[in-house]
Amino acid sequence: MVAGHQPEKAVADVTGAGLRVGVVGGSVAGCALAIAAVRSGADVTVYERSDGALEDRGFGIVVPPPLHAELVGAGYLDAGMPTAPVPSRVWLTGEPGQRTARELARQPAAVTPCHWGLLWRTLRARADGVTYHRGRPVTEVLRHPSGGAVIRTAESEARYDIVVGADGPRSVTRAAVAPQVRPVPARYVVWRGTLPLDVLAAHPHLGELVRTAWITLGFQGGHGVFYLIPGAVEGSRLLAYALYGPPPPPSWTAGREEYVRRVAEEHFPADWADVVGRGVHTSLACHDVADFHVPRVAEPPFLLAGDAASITRPHTASGATKALQDALCLERALRASSSAAEALRRYADERSDEGARLVALGRRLGQAMVERTPDWAAMGPVEVAEWSRATLDGAASYLYGGAER
DSSP strands (E only) in 166-274: 184-196, 213-219, 222-230, 237-245
HSE-CB of 236 using CA atoms within 13 angstroms: 16
- DSSP secondary structure letter of residue 130: -
Query: Which residue ranges does the chain devote to CATH 3.30.9.60?
Result: 86-111+184-289+368-400
Gap between the Cα atoms of 325 and 393, Å rounded: 23
Q: What is the pLDDT of residue 327?
A: 98
Topology classification of domain 86-111+184-289+368-400:
D-Amino Acid Oxidase; Chain A, domain 2 (3.30.9)
| Cβ atoms 283, 231 nearer than 8 A | no
Mean pLDDT, contiguous 10-residue spans, the chain (405 residues): 38 62 97 97 96 72 97 96 98 85 96 96 94 96 96 96 97 94 95 94 95 97 97 93 94 91 93 90 93 97 98 96 98 96 97 96 97 95 96 95 58
Gap between the Cα atoms of 6 and 335, Å rounded: 20
Provide the Cα torsion 320, 306, 185, 250; round to 10°: 60
Query: Which residue ranges does the chain devote to CATH 3.50.50.60?
Result: 20-56+117-183+292-362
Q: Can you say how many angstroms the Cα of residue 67 is from the centroid of all Cα atoms in its chain?
A: 13
Q: What is the pLDDT of residue 13?
A: 42
Q: Please choose, from the candidates 164, 142, 166, the residue with its C-alpha nearest in 3D space to the C-alpha of residue 152.
A: 142
Q: What is the pLDDT of residue 99?
A: 76
Q: What is the pLDDT of residue 52?
A: 72
pTM for this prediction: 0.93
Q: What is the pLDDT of residue 278?
A: 79
Q: For Cα atoms 262, 242, 255, give the angle at the middle one, nearest 5 degrees.
A: 40
Q: What is the pLDDT of residue 152?
A: 97
Residues whose CB is less than 8 angstroms from the CB of residue 248 and which lie 6 or more positions away in sequence, other chains included: 259, 286
* Domain 20-56+117-183+292-362 annotated CATH 3.50.50.60: yes
Residues whose CB is less than 8 angstroms from the CB of residue 146 and which lie 6 or more positions away in sequence, other chains included: none
